[in-house]
Amino acid sequence: MPKLARYPIETIIGDKLRADDGGHARETTLAFHECSFTLKKTGESLLRGVSGAVRTGQVLAVLGPSGSGKTTLLKLLALKAMPAGVSRGLVTLDGQRLSAEGFARQCASVEQTDSLWTYLSCREQLQYAIDLCEPNLDRTERWVATNRLLLALGLESCQDTRVGNALIKGLSGGQKRRLSIGLALAKKPAVLLCDEPTSGLDAASAAAVMRLLKEASERLGTAVVCTLHQPSPSVFARLDLALVLSGGRSAYYGAACELSSFLSSVGRPVPQHTNVADFMLDAVNA
């Protein structure tokens, strides 16, 4: 297999950014207002009036301890049916109420558990995704698009490796996660939701995944929302916005770089050489 040429991520599958009549890229904003979710059987509230927004070029991380409502919020943003409870609130895309059909058409989500074909290689899975999302491309264009996506994902060295499973040697955990994200990016989504994209990965793999998400937000014009449990300093540094949940309520929403200042303002200064995210999680658990 000849060595693939290097491409910037914004060219992986053609022109992503939509433009208005003036030729300027149009910004996309996903906003959610007073989102709540209550279990029918017990009456327990898993989410209580959570609001926030994320726009093109930003990565919003939903942080919080286990059971704080992170995954529930992500399901609400994806307009998924949750018959076990009652959901309330408003989710909008560019100021218009977002429906389940609208989400399926314009957005994409990546689940915490990778859902990949065991016996197919990286290249084959990405090729099929591009075939489905870009049916008007000819054979050569699809080949080029697949090559570019492999490079953007950092998977060119394992492009012919099967995914594998517990019995069949294949991709590493970090490679599987990047492949899952790549399959979603082939759709050219305006919004990408990722549930625990760094869960179970080592520090280097987690940093690579977050670097990919940040590049997608900045260069592809995709607004990214991800849930994170205990982000390392290198992962936290990739975030633009942070929404910290505690008991289903919002404990903080704002710029990730201002979280330390916020904690100081409420009498909980972050000690030197301490991970801000870990300190915040300890604070909301106290």
pLDDT for res 22: 37
Q: Given a cut of 80, is residue 2 above it in pLDDT?
A: no
Give the mean model confidence (pLDDT) for residues 184-191. 92
Give the mean model confidence (pLDDT) for residues 183-212. 92
The more confidently predicted of residues 67 and 30 is 30
- Amino acid code (one letter) for 272: Q
Lowest mean pLDDT among 19-33, 76-90, 172-186: 19-33
- In tens, the pLDDT along 42-71 reads 999 999 999 999 999 999 999 999 889 999
What is the secondary structure of 216-274 as a DSSP string?
HHHHS--EEEEEESS--HHHHTT-SEEEEEETTEEEEEEEGGGHHHHHHHTT-PPPTT-
Q: Is 207 within 8 Å of 175 (Cβ atoms)?
A: no
pLDDT for res 112: 86
Q: What is the pLDDT confidence band of residue 27, given thresholds at 50, 70 and 90?
A: confident
Q: What is the pLDDT confidence band of residue 175, given thresholds at 50, 70 and 90?
A: very high
Q: What is the pLDDT confidence band of residue 180, given thresholds at 50, 70 and 90?
A: very high
Q: Which domains does the chain have, with CATH numbers?
A: 28-285 (3.40.50.300)
Q: Given a cut of 70, is residue 233 above it in pLDDT?
A: yes
Q: Is 204 within 8 Å of 210 (Cβ atoms)?
A: no
Q: Is 192 within 8 Å of 107 (Cβ atoms)?
A: yes
Give the mean model confidence (pLDDT) for residues 267-283. 91
Q: Is 285 within 8 Å of 64 (Cβ atoms)?
A: no
Q: Given a cut of 80, is residue 142 above it in pLDDT?
A: yes
Distances (CA, A) of 58 to 189, 222, 235: 14, 8, 14
pLDDT for res 57: 92
Q: What is the pLDDT confidence band of residue 166, given thresholds at 50, 70 and 90?
A: confident
- In tens, the pLDDT along 260-274 reads 999 999 999 999 989
Q: Given a cut of 50, is residue 125 above it in pLDDT?
A: yes
- Alpha carbon 175 to its chain's center: 16
pLDDT for res 285: 81
pLDDT for res 26: 62
